[in-house]
C-alpha cells in the first residue's frame, strides 16, 4: 500500500526528503557509474585495437606496393 497521502508528501518524506532522496540518488548514481565504466572502457579498448589493426594492415599494403 502506498504510504503517502499524495505525491508532495512522498517527495517531502515527512521532512526527511533531502536526506532520503540524497542518499538514494547518490548511491544509485555511483552504482550506475560502476556498471557503465567497465563497458565504456571495453568499448574504447576495442576501438583502439581496431584502429591499430587497420593501421598495420595499411602499412603492410603500402610496403607491398613499394616493393613491387
39 vs 66, beta carbon nearer another protein:
39
In the Cβ-directed half-sphere of 43, how many Cα atoms lie within 13 Å? Answer: 4
Site for another protein in 18-47 (CB under 8 A): 19-20, 22-24, 26-28, 30-31, 34-35, 38-39, 41-42, 45-47
The DSSP code for 14 is: G
Nearer to another protein, 14 or 62 (CB): 14
Count of CA atoms in the C-beta half-sphere (13 A) of 60:
6
State which residue, 22 or 58, has the beta carbon closest to another protein: 22
CB 20 within 8 A of CB 13: yes
**Residue 15, CA atoms < 13 Å, CB-side half-sphere:** 0
The footprint of another protein (CB under 8 A) covers 1-4, 10, 13-17, 19-20, 22-24, 26-28, 30-31, 34-35, 38-39, 41-42, 45-47, 49-50, 53
Amino acid at each position: 500500500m502506498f504510504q503517502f497521502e499524495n505525491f508532495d508528501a512522498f517527495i517531502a518524506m515527512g521532512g526527511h526528503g533531502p536526506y532520503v532522496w540524497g542518499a538514494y540518488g547518490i548511491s544509485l548514481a555511483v552504482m550506475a557509474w560502476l556498471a557503465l565504466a567497465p563497458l565504456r572502457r571495453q568499448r574504447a579498448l576495442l576501438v583502439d585495437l581496431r584502429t591499430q589493426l587497420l593501421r598495420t594492415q595499411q602499412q603492410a599494403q603500402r610496403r607491398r606496393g613499394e616493393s613491387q
